[in-house]
Amino acid sequence: MRRELLEKHVIITTSFRGVYYGRLVFLRGNVCMLAEARMCIYWGTTQGVDELAATGPTKTSKIGAKVPLVRLFGLTSISRATPDAEAAWEARS
């Protein structure tokens, strides 16, 4: 499963309550690196955090600035973003 997620856009959650969107460029154990990463500060969804991977952020979601690369620790989930979710995330730039 790890290889099929590399270079794909994903939603990552961490044990530190972080929620991030970006392109997965490295994954080993409980550590990953996301390129073009953005933090979801408040997701404002009606169907939970996985809605961010299914349809993207809502109008009430608060999204942080895009950074070129971020290294994340304590991964608790990785969800592959759908094409619709990717478009919604990119529209929020």
Q: pLDDT tens digits, the chain, 93 residues: what are they? A: 567 888 999 999 999 999 999 999 999 999 999 999 999 999 999 999 999 999 999 999 999 999 999 999 999 999 999 999 999 999 986
CA distance 29 to 52: 23
Which pLDDT belongs to residue 2? 63
Which pLDDT belongs to residue 4? 83
CA angle 21, 19, 33 (to 5 degrees): 55
Domains observed in the chain: 2-91 (2.30.30.100)
> Which is nearest to 20 in space by CA: 60, 59, 52?
52
pTM of the model: 0.93
